[in-house]
Amino acid sequence: MNDRRCGNHVNGAVPAPLSVGKVVMGAFLVPWWNRRAFARALAVPLVSLAVLTLSWYYANEFLPNFVKWLLYVLYGLLFALFAVTCHRLLLLGSESVATPLAPRWSWRESRFFAWMVLVSFICMAAWFLFLNAISIPLFNVFKPSPGHSQPWIEWLIEATKIPVFYIFARLCLVFPATAIDNKPDLKWTWDLTRGNGWRLVVVVGVLPWVISGLVSLFYRENATVFETIILSVLGIALFAVEIAALSLSYRELTKERDA
C-alpha cells in the first residue's frame, strides 16, 4: 500500500470476500518459514512480556492497586512493541526491521499504542451499551432472585460480546496500517472491511480463542515453575500467529482495494 495517508475507500465496490482459510494457514506458516528473523527481532519484547506475565502470576495477590495499573500500562506498551515488530516483519520483510540488542520506542509505537487505547475504549463502551440495552429489560421481566446464579445471565453476558467482536473486527486494520507508517482513520478501516466483517471476526476473535484454548489444555494444578514459564512463553509466542493473521488480512484487503 503506497498511500501513506491511507486514502478513503470510496470506489463504491464491495471488496472481494476475504479467504479466511488462506489467512489462517498463512498466519501459522509465514512466521515458521521466517522463524529466525522472528526469533531475532522478537526475543527482547517476548522475554519482557513473559517476565511481566510471570511476575503478575506469582505476585498479584501482594500488589497494591496502583502497581497493578502500572503493570497493565507496561504490558500494553510492551505488547505494542511486540505487535509493531510482527506487523513489519510480515508486511515489509525482515530486512526492513532493525534488530538492535534492545528495540527502540518511536512515534510509530506511540501511535500504535494510542490506537490500542482508543479502539479498546470504543469496544468497552459498545459492550456496556449492548449489555445494558439487553439486560435491563430482561431483568425487569424475569426479576432474578438475589444471590441465586442464573445460567441465562452468563449466556447473556457472552452474547453481548459478539457485536463487540464485530466492531473490533471492522476497526482492527488500523493496527497493521499504523505499524508500517501509514496514517489510517476509523472511517478508512470501516470502509475497507465492508463486506468482510464476520470473516474478520473469525480471524481476530475465533482464532485467538482457539489458540488460547489449546494452550490452556496444557495447564494443570500445582504446575511446576518450569512448566509455568514454558507455557507463558509459548502463549506469548503464539501472539505472533494472531498478529500475523491480522497482517495477512490487511495485505489481502488492501491488495483488493489497490487492484
**Residue 221 CA: distances (Å) to CA of 46, 61, 90, 211, 228:** 25, 18, 37, 20, 11
The more confidently predicted of residues 120 and 157 is: 120
pLDDT digits (tens, 9 = 90+) for 230-254: 988 999 999 999 999 999 999 999 9
pLDDT at 2: 43
Q: Is the pLDDT of residue 223 over 60?
A: yes
Q: Which long-range contacts (CB under 8 A, 24 or more apart) does 88-92 make?
A: 88/179, 88/180, 89/34, 89/37, 89/38, 89/41, 90/30, 90/31, 90/176, 90/243, 90/244, 90/247, 90/248, 90/251, 91/176, 91/179, 91/180, 91/247, 91/250, 91/251, 92/180
pLDDT at 1: 45
Backbone angles phi, psi at 182, to 5 degrees: -80, 170
pLDDT digits (tens, 9 = 90+) for 156-210: 778 888 999 999 999 999 999 999 999 999 999 999 999 999 999 999 999 999 9
Write down the pTM of the prediction.
Answer: 0.87
pLDDT digits (tens, 9 = 90+) for 53-106: 888 888 878 888 888 889 999 999 999 999 999 999 999 987 767 666 667 889
Answer for the pair 188, 9: CB distance below 8 angstroms, yes or no.
yes
Q: Is the pLDDT of residue 8 over 50?
A: no
DSSP label of 204: I
DSSP label of 246: H
Backbone angles phi, psi at 22, to 5 degrees: -65, -40
pLDDT at 143: 61
CA-to-CA distance for 257 and 164, rounded, in angstroms?
25
pLDDT at 186: 96
Answer for the pair 166, 198: CB distance below 8 angstroms, yes or no.
yes
> What is the percent of the chain with per-residue pLDDT over 70, rounded to a whole number?
83
CA-to-CA distance for 185 and 200, rounded, in angstroms?
18
DSSP label of 17: P
